[in-house]
Amino acid sequence: MSNLTGNIRLEGDRIIWGIVFALSLFSLLVVYSTAGWNFLFSHFVKILIGICAMYIVHKIKFKYFSKLGQLAYLSSLGLLILVLIIGVSINGASRWLTIAGLQFQPSDVAKLAILLYLARQLSKQRDYLAHFKYFAWYILCPLVLICLLILPNNFSTAALVFVNGLVLMFIAKVRLKFIAAIIGFAFIGALSIYVSAKYTSLGSQIMPRSITWVSRIDSFFDGSKNDMQHKDFQQVQALVAIQNGDITGVGPGKSIQRNVLPYSYSDFIYAIIIEEYGIIGGIGVILAYLILLFRAIKISFKVESLFGSLVTVGLMFSLVFQAIINMLVSVKVLPVTGQTLPLISMGGTSIVFTCITIGIILSISRDSTDRAYEEA
């Protein structure tokens, strides 16, 4: 037994390890409060699998993630096409695939794969990216293709992936006029989807989920009391939970709104955190995510390869950005998106892929002086 534990060494950034363990334990407390014993054990198993995956991944030399990123990108394209054809529909959205009894969202694979792929291309093709045709072929087209495949069933995830890609381009010093042009065309595209879904039947025929997106946006910006009570029920109840929590909270396991608020264990878990642990607890969670981001930035400065630096900041930004979106939805700063709180919300394969993401960052922090990825 002593030999086994002696062989298990946690390498890489110790602070990131500590925050991951702390958020995972905290997740068990909150999920128990919101979902009860029936779901606690399965959630614990998923966290355990995720941490094991993170440990295995962090032992892999990060140079191999360059080639693995290519394979993962091509695989995610196939999975996203497959989910459009035979996807399992849950809550009106066909986002899930079932393979060998395992149900997962291909978009979780795509979120990770596209960032690895873009980091590889931005580092290997950096001498050619000043020319738009090369930039469009190597960077823009792969990103747009992934987003378009995710879009029909999951607008918020497509937007999240798109923003993460833009941030990676900015870090890699892609010309700002290219990035500005992309943002402009993306805004026109999003506005076109909104207008066609709201005022014509064409939008709903092409993308049935667009009706839901329009409803959420309209209800968010409509401030009438009647609309607040009916269309924005989730966010209204989340605000009630936050109000109940005040500064110090009502105490662990004493939430009232958990019985009223839909998806209190996933999409709106942050509201329950504030209700039970107060604004102090909510700020503590925010600080934990910000520390993760700052640690990733610090690691990126130590990494001697552009690929490693881009992957570190890009992956951690995507995780923290998703957390911020989840929190802003809970406090009604953004419309409902369906994004979970990484490392805390109850989930399935999303927990595993989040842990794999952090495992890659830990692998890079472990071998920050390795430049051999250039040969991968």
Q: What is the pLDDT of residues 36-60, one digit of tens each?
A: 888 899 999 999 999 999 999 999 9
For residue 202, what pLDDT band results from cuts at 50, 70 and 90? low
- How confident is the model over 109-128, as a mean pLDDT? 93
> What confidence tens digit (pLDDT) does each residue in 272-284 have?
999 999 999 999 9
Q: Residue 148: which of 137, 161, 136 has the closest Cα?
A: 161
In the predicted structure, residue 194 carries a pLDDT above the cut 50: yes
> What confidence tens digit (pLDDT) does each residue in 162-182 have?
999 999 999 999 999 999 999
- How confident is the model over 248-262, as a mean pLDDT? 91
CA dihedral 129, 134, 135, 138 (to 10 degrees): -110
- How confident is the model over 292-300, as a mean pLDDT? 96
Q: How far is CA 140 from the centre of its chain?
A: 20
Contact 330, 340 (CB under 8 A): no
- How confident is the model over 13-36, as a mean pLDDT? 94
Side-chain half-sphere exposure of 314, counting CA atoms within 13 A? 31
Classify burial at 2, counting beta carbons within 10 Å of its beta carbon; exposed 0-12, middle 13-18, buried 19 or more: exposed
pLDDT of res. 4: 47
d(C-alpha 292, C-alpha 302), whole Å: 16
User: Tokens standing for 213?
Assistant: 């997106």
- How confident is the model over 240-258, as a mean pLDDT? 93
pLDDT of res. 218: 81
For residue 145, what pLDDT band results from cuts at 50, 70 and 90? very high
pLDDT of res. 372: 52
- How confident is the model over 122-151, as a mean pLDDT? 93
For residue 28, what pLDDT band results from cuts at 50, 70 and 90? very high
Question: Which is it for the CA torsion 292, 294, 298, 301, positive or negative?
Answer: positive
pLDDT of res. 33: 92
- How confident is the model over 207-231, as a mean pLDDT? 69
In the predicted structure, residue 269 carries a pLDDT above the cut 80: yes
pLDDT of res. 43: 93
The most confident of 12-21, 149-158, 222-231, 345-354, by mean pLDDT: 12-21
pLDDT of res. 175: 94
For residue 263, what pLDDT band results from cuts at 50, 70 and 90? confident
pLDDT of res. 374: 47
3-state helix, strand, coil in the chain (%, to 5): 70, 5, 25
| One-letter-per-residue 3-state SS of 87-146 | CEEECCEEEEEEECCEEECHHHHHHHHHHHHHHHHHHHCCCCCCCHHHHHHHHHHHHHHH
In the predicted structure, residue 65 carries a pLDDT above the cut 90: yes
Q: What is the pTM of this model?
A: 0.91
In the predicted structure, residue 370 carries a pLDDT above the cut 70: no
pLDDT of res. 270: 96
Tell which wins on pLDDT, 38 or 133: 133
